[in-house]
Chains A and B, each alone.
Chain A
Amino acid sequence: MSKRKVVSEPTLADDLARLETLVRQLEQDDVELDEALALFEEGVKHLRAARERLTAAEARVQQVLEQADGELSISDFNA
């Protein structure tokens, strides 16, 4: 199932790193007003995405098993 995970989907680390870059750019003196607005808008987008990820309810624990045919199966693990 997770094999089909979209690789290009930005990770939390991507969102946070991009956000930091945008903030630093916005804090420069020579940024044009329309550019500043664009930076702000993009920043808000990443801010939302990161916040959404961070408010996950509880860490998920799954167990990986190798089947007889060599395929991997991932199922919820009950500790």
Chain B
Amino acid sequence: MTLPLTFEPATPADDVYTVSDITAEVGRAIQRSARSLWVRAEISEYKAYSSGHHYFTLRDARSQMRCVMWKHDARRLTLRPEAGMEVFVLGRASYWEEKGEFRFTVTAMLPSADLGAAHRELERVRALLKADGLLAPERKRPLPRFPETIAVVTSTDGAALRDIITVTRRRWPCARLLVVGAKVQGDGAPATLARALKLVNRLPGVDLCIIGRGGGARDDLAGFNSELVCRALAEVRVPTISAVGHETDVSLSDLVADHRAATPSAAAEAAVPDCQEVMRGLRDLAVRLSHGLRRRTSLAEERLARCSDRSRMALEQLLERRQHQLERLAAQLDALSPLRVLERGYAVAQDGNDRVLRGVEDFRAGLAFRLRLADGRVSARVEQEET
């Protein structure tokens, strides 16, 4: 069978179209037939550019279409659209001639009463975790300041692990990383993640646990939103950091963990201190320690000096007092001295042994004795006893 020819291949010149002719014609056709309509769909990718324009994809079970929401419409949004959310949008079909692409231009967006399926599951698990108190802020434990052994639950060949190792080696070389491998995406990820977390509890001496993965599309984060993983994470007996590598989306593991980091690198930064800083702190402590002792010993020296000053003064005072006493006694002694009596003209008779001769019977005839006078002694002899 032969097809009827609609073109004359031999004479193309008159009927050749340019690309612009075609796109303009298609564009006109689309715009002519397009009217504003409401569409119910799930958002699968959403990107708000700094220009203010929003670009995203809407999908249902069979198809998808690319959408744009211009700045002046996006400004009026009352919800924060994100992938997985089911919404109602008002818009019309349009055509981007330069690219030859069909776009659905959205002018308004409302949350669907019935959220997207993934979103619903997430909310279900979140509610369960919340009911069990696993999301309570008071459950959050502080991270250890100087962790020595850190368990890392992630894929052994992912960028996440490489980043964590690099940052830890740079900042905190005294750490030991214990890697517990797990599947972080796809089927079976929740089970291996949960098993790895349980295994962490059997490791001795672990100070901290990081669970994470590098950035990925939303569907790939399902493991970190699973109830199994979140409950296992809550049961880890050391403080935990969740780093699922997604700036915009928060996974449920982020909410259950004690600390949330935007990326695995950020998790390592939060986990370990900077060794140089700690060294500086240590030097400060060393200085304070020696200053403390020096201050204390100089205090003792001062006190000692003060003590010796005081005791010298006390001694001097005592000496002075004693001296006065001595002088007083000397004066009294002087008054009582027999020499004073002798000065008045008396004499004392003493025998050769300096014994004082007190009575007549002491003077036997012929006895040699001495008379002691105020200015000296005189030898004498008894010539005759008087009767």
Show the binding face of A for B, using Cβ within 8 Å: 2-3, 5, 11-13, 16, 19-20, 22-23, 26-27, 31, 33, 36-37, 39-40, 43-44, 47, 50-51, 53-66, 72, 74, 77, 79
Contact = CB atoms under 8 A, between A and B. Distances in A.
Nearest to B171: A59
A59 B177 CA distance: 7
B130 interface: no
Given A20-B285, A59-B172, A64 B203 contact: yes
Contact of B293 (A12, A26, A65, A66): A26
Q: Which of A40, A58, A60, A61 has the most CB of B within 10 A?
A: A61
Contact of A64 (B199, B293, B300): B199
Nearest to A29: B299
Contact of A58 (B173, B278, B296): B173
A61 B292 contact: no
A55 B17 CA distance: 75
Contact of A54 (B144, B275, B285): B275
12 contacts: A13-B146, A19-B282, A23-B292, A26-B289, A37-B293, A40-B292, A53-B174, A58-B173, A59-B174, A60-B175, A61-B177, A72-B202
A64 B292 contact: no
Contacts of A12: 146, 148, 174
B300 A33 contact: yes
B146 to A, nearest CB: 4
Contacts, number: 118
A3 B204 CA distance: 6
A4 B173 CA distance: 23
Contacts of B293: 26, 36-37, 39-40
A33 B292 CA distance: 11
The 5 A-B pairs of least Cβ separation, nearest first, read A26-B292, A56-B174, A36-B296, A40-B293, A13-B146
A19 to B, nearest CB: 5
A50 B282 contact: yes
Contacts of A50: 282
Given A23-B289, A53-B174, A54-B174, A61 B145 contact: no
Given A58-B173, A72-B202, 4 more contacts: A16-B145, A36-B293, A59-B165, A64-B179
Nearest to A23: B288
Contact of B173 (A3, A5, A16, A56): A56
A30 to B, nearest CB: 10
A61 B204 contact: no
A45 to B, nearest CB: 11
Q: Which of B156, B172, B176 has the most CB of A within 10 A?
A: B176
A79 B165 contact: yes
B289 to A, nearest CB: 5
B168 interface: yes
B161 interface: yes
Interface string B141-171: 0001110100100001000011001001100
A60 B279 CA distance: 20
Nearest to A25: B292
A39 B173 CA distance: 30
B179 A13 contact: no
Given A12-B148, A20-B285, A22-B289, A54 B296 contact: no
B181 interface: yes
B374 to A, nearest CB: 66
A72 B282 contact: no
A43 B300 CA distance: 20
A54 B148 CA distance: 10
Q: Which of B176, B286, B289 has the most CB of A within 10 A?
A: B289
Contacts of A66: 199
Contact of A47 (B202, B282, B300): B282
Contacts of A31: 296
Interface string B270-290: 000001001101100110111
A57 to B, nearest CB: 7
Contact of B286 (A47, A60, A65): A47
Contacts of A54: 174, 275, 278-279, 282
Given A59-B165, A59-B172, A36 B205 contact: no
